[in-house]
Amino acid sequence: MTNVSNLVPARLERLYHWLRRYYWLWPLISFGSGIFSFFLISRQQSLGAWLALALMLTWLLLSLESLWSWWHRHREHSSLPRLLATFCAQLTHQETLFFCLPFFLITTVWDSGQAIFTGLLVVCAIVSIVDPLYFSIAEKRRWLYFSYHALCVFAVLLVVGPLLLRLSTGTSLLLAAIVFPLVALPSLISILRPDRAWRWLALVVLAISISGGAWALRTFIPPATLWIDASALSPSFDTAEREPRGSMVLTPDNLRARGLYAFTAVHAPLGLNEHIRHVWRHEGKVVDEIDLTIQGGRDQGYRAWSRKQHFGTDIAGNWQVDVVTDAGQRLGVIRFEVIDDVDQARKVDGRLERTPGIGWLRRHQKD
């Protein structure tokens, strides 16, 4: 009688070769499901939470597979073929990255350091669909492969926290920063090879440094699941309708006499309460900060506004209103210039404008 333990790896080998015949389909499926998931989340938040939960369960299955292989390491033909395990990990990486990317693409402020982090995720997504490159890293650069895996976990936690656990973006970032070095532990062990006490100490210090570094660089990380749907400047505001009103030319005299409202419609997941700030800057210097609280779930974004009345004497120059989270992650910015020449000065009339970003995603998300 054929040993059952020998049949399982043989069947897995056949399954692997069958799947490899259609490998070119998986990147398309992953990309399509990622975009589809984003649109579904914009229509039904609970469905998006289940999709995020499914991704986390996939990570758990991969971890259990590694544990199972280690547990049966002394048995002949008892561990899963490494190529099959890598192929499964590749599919999970593709699904994770293409699921998360739309959330980062839409919220990234592209003229800031956030473009570096989102660009890194784009590179990782490309690597996941280029088989020779991906398998070369998986087989020859194990420390880099585990770092790649840790970055994917870091990204998915930034999305899952607000969607599934209703955590603020700052709390989700803190959680991801703590988990990141733990998931990257195999990579750190491969680099340091701790065989002495001082190497173990160095491992702990490096892990803590990575976690602290991820938090310290939070301004470079977009607040996934939060973005500005529209913004406007106006001299007055209808608080009952929550809409900007009136028109005004941005000259020093007009601002001193009437003040200025900054309006933002911030998109957030259903059930999420988030604290944000409008930071008013003149020539790069902070002159005012106004705390606001937003609630998620509204299709057109939660309407939040601030008003600056006291401009002082030196008003002319470049102004901007940064919209930032409690953790300091920037959602977007409203820029305007104040000049004395009435004919050359900009006129604001409360008209809603979309902020820079991936326009086609914003249009389809709202429609």
Q: What is the 3-state secondary structure (H, E, C) of the chain?
A: CCCHHHHHHHHHHHHHHHHHCCCCHHHHHHHHHHHHHHHHHHHCHHHHHHHHHHHHHHHHHHHHHHHHHHHCCCCCCCCCCHHHHHHHHHHHHHHHHHHHHHHHHHHCCCCCCHHHHHHHHHHHHHHHHCHHHHHHHHHHCHHHHHHHHHHHHHHHHHHHHHHHCCCCHHHHHHHHHHHHHHHCHHHHHHHHCCCCHHHHHHHHHHHHHHHHHHHHCHHHCCCCCCEEEEEEEECEEECCCCEEECCEECCHHHHHHHCEEEEEEEECCCCCEEEEEEEEEECCEEEEEEEEEEECCCCCCEEEEEEECCCCCCCCEEEEEEEEECCCCEEEEEEEEECCCCCCCCEECCCCECCCCCHHHHHHHHC
Question: What is the model's pLDDT at position 164?
Answer: 80
Question: What is the model's pLDDT at position 1?
Answer: 43
Of 106, 118, 94, give the one whose Cα is nearest residue 34: 94
Question: What is the model's pLDDT at position 171?
Answer: 93
Question: What is the model's pLDDT at position 129?
Answer: 81
Question: What is the model's pLDDT at position 262?
Answer: 95
Question: What is the model's pLDDT at position 225?
Answer: 86
Question: What is the model's pLDDT at position 181?
Answer: 87
Question: What is the model's pLDDT at position 183?
Answer: 80
The structure's pTM equals 0.80
Question: What is the model's pLDDT at position 336?
Answer: 94
Q: Which residues of the chain have pLDDT under 70?
A: 1-56, 58-85, 355-367
Angle subtended by helix axes 359-366 and 82-107, to nearest 10: 80
